[in-house]
Structure 1
Amino acid sequence: MTTRDIEQRFWRSPLVPWIEWRSTAHSSQAYKLHQHPQFSIGAIIDGETVTCCSGREYHLYQGEMVLIAPREAHSCNPAGNRSRSYHMLYLDEAWCLQQLGFAPGEHLHCTQTVLRSPSFFTAFMHIISLMEDSRTEALQEAVRALLVSLPGLQTAEKPAEFCNHMQTTLLADIQQPPSLDCLAQRYTLRKETLIRQFKLATGLTPAAWVNNARVEFAKAQLRAGNEIADVGYESGFADQSHFHRTFVSFTSSTPRQYAQGRSISDNK
């Protein structure tokens, strides 16, 4: 089964811009190690998922949940190429910090990755039902109630200044970021040392991080309704085939599937 044949839904709404919902059914597609700027909460509906996060591997089964901090490199792949079904909620980090009473600009961190609790799973599925029924008026309180009850959420130290500066440099021109040779010269480091230090801080090599950043940029453009062909070019991909392959490898969905995700307000 190809990615485009998998049943996937992406739901979002201007009424609740701090949340996005993804639902994927009976998929054996795998992801590359990746990260995203949102705090994410996942729930396994059927099958088994192998999650790699913070250098550890976790096996999740039906009724179990995973918590992934913003910018945490991770993958959530099927076990033994068998299909699994799951829901993912992506929550804006700034919104989460506000609900949790943390200072703006802090970095959210999870000390617990896996939840094996029927009560948390029931609360999560209640949130999904609210979105399915377009009950946006009740959604914020339900999500907030789940968020503040989750164990192990705290703030973390910010990345080293070198890493922050290098990420800013790479993002300054997403279409043509500086080469590793140029960066190594700028930071007076051997190229191998630069790659090692960057991966230690982010979980990704600079090349993988740039591709991940391009995909996140593309997702924002697609959410805004921009044309797929234009988005691929603006995101820095050589051609549409390169854009499609990279997008699928990091998201396990096609750009078109992601772009066609309807707002939950469309069902009202």
Structure 2
Amino acid sequence: MTHTRHVNQTFIRQPGVELRSTWQSTQAYKRHSHAQLSIGAILEGQTCCSCNGEPFILYPGDLIVIPAHMAHSCNPVEGQPRSYHMLYLDTDIEPAMQVIRSEALFRQYLAVVDTLSPEAIAALLSGLTENSAPPDPLRPSSLALLQTLRHSLQEPPSLDVLARRFSLRKETLIRTFKQDTGLTPGTFLAISRVEFAKARLRAGDDIADVSYQSGFADQSHFHKTFVSYAAATPRQYATGRSISDNN
């Protein structure tokens, strides 16, 4: 299998938007989630995308819409390489999870990839949200646990402490959280650390400092966990460029 640092991929950013383009990759992800709305487009090969435990096989020309905080993984089929774009959008619009096979919407997506313009993004979101119901909200205990873990990366409270805070048995807290998010609290904490690390790397912080800020025990643990959930090394991710770099 190709080592992650040799995967041909780029990250392009502007405020509220990130575009990841990956070419001929066999790199797999662990199941994870994002705070942003994610929209993927398959360019070459096949991808098996599992959202909240339900698998879908995606083919060239397919789009997949993944709401914020929905657990998912998108991995190669039988180890064969695939190429894809992935958009991450900070938006209040919440379309439902869906696989879309529409030449018109695929062309709109590629227009976003070409320009990352607000107008192209708005047109794409308008097309995606037609006849689309928003995802179900999290239950109060799951939402509170999610927010607590996200804001306690370096020294998170124990699940026993959290369960008492919510007046629940620990087992009930864990089960409810997994039902609502598709993730265990421990997995969500690891993902939150990686997402925080991404934000600090985008801001230009030193990788060693980011490892500590994110709550990882050491550089090795940081690197291994980051690759597991991002399918990119911290250095690869840090070298992504802003759309303003084209000017």
Unaligned runs of 5+ in 1: 98-107, 132-138
Deviations, residues 91-114 of structure 1 (Å, cap 9, x unaligned): 1123xx3xxxxxxxxxx241x511
Cross-structure match for 2:101: 116
Supply the RMSD in Å over aligned alpha carbons: 1.5
Please give the secondary structure, in 2, of the residue aligned with 1:248.
Answer: helix
Q: Distance in 2 between matches of 1:152 and 1:232?
A: 42
1:42 to 40, 52, 55: 40
Q: Which amino acid aligns with 2:13?
A: R
Post-superposition offset of 1:228: 0.7
The equivalences for 1:56-71 within 5 A come to 56-71=54-69
CA deviation after TM superposition for structure 1 residue 152, in Å: 4.4
Give per-residue Cα distances to partners, 1:161-194, cap 9 Å, x unaligned.
1112222322332101012232234334333222
* Equivalent residue runs for 1:175-186 within 5 Å: 175-186=154-165
Give me the whole-angstrom Cα distance separating, in 2, the residues matched to 1:265 and 1:122: 23
SS at the partner of 2:241?
coil
The residue matched to 2:204 in structure 1 has which SS? Answer: coil
SS in 1 for 2:138: coil
Mapping for residues 12-31 of structure 1, pairs under 5 Å: 12-13=13-14, 17-31=15-29
Q: Tell me which of 115, 121, 127 is aligned to 1:143.
A: 121
Aligned equivalents of 1:227, 1:155: Cα separation in 2: 38
Three-state SS of the structure 1 residue aligned to 2:70 is: coil
TM-score, with structure 2 as normaliser: 0.94
Query: Secondary structure of 1:158's match?
Result: coil
Matched, 1:81 2:79: yes
The separation in 2 between residues aligned to 1:80 and 1:262, in whole angstroms, is 32
Does the CA contact (< 8 Å) of 1:70 and 1:109 recur in 2? no
Instruction: Give the number of equivalent residue pairs.
Output: 245
What secondary structure is seen at the aligned counterpart in 1 of 2:153? Answer: coil
The match for 2:169 is 190
Segments ≥4 residues shifted beyond 4 Å: none
Identity across matched positions, percent = 51
Matched, 1:217 2:202: no
CA distance in 2, matches of 1:200, 1:158: 12
* Aligned equivalents of 2:121, 2:76: Cα separation in 1: 27
Q: How does 1:148-159 map to 2 (within 5 A)?
A: 148-150=126-128, 151-159=130-138
Contact 2:67–2:135 under 8 Å retained in 1: no
Work out the CA distance in 1 between the residues paired with 2:72 and 2:216.
Answer: 23
Asked if 1:8 is matched to 2:9, the reply is yes
Please state how far the C-alpha of 1:157 moved relative to its aligned partner: 4.2
Alignment pair present for 1:130 and 2:131: no
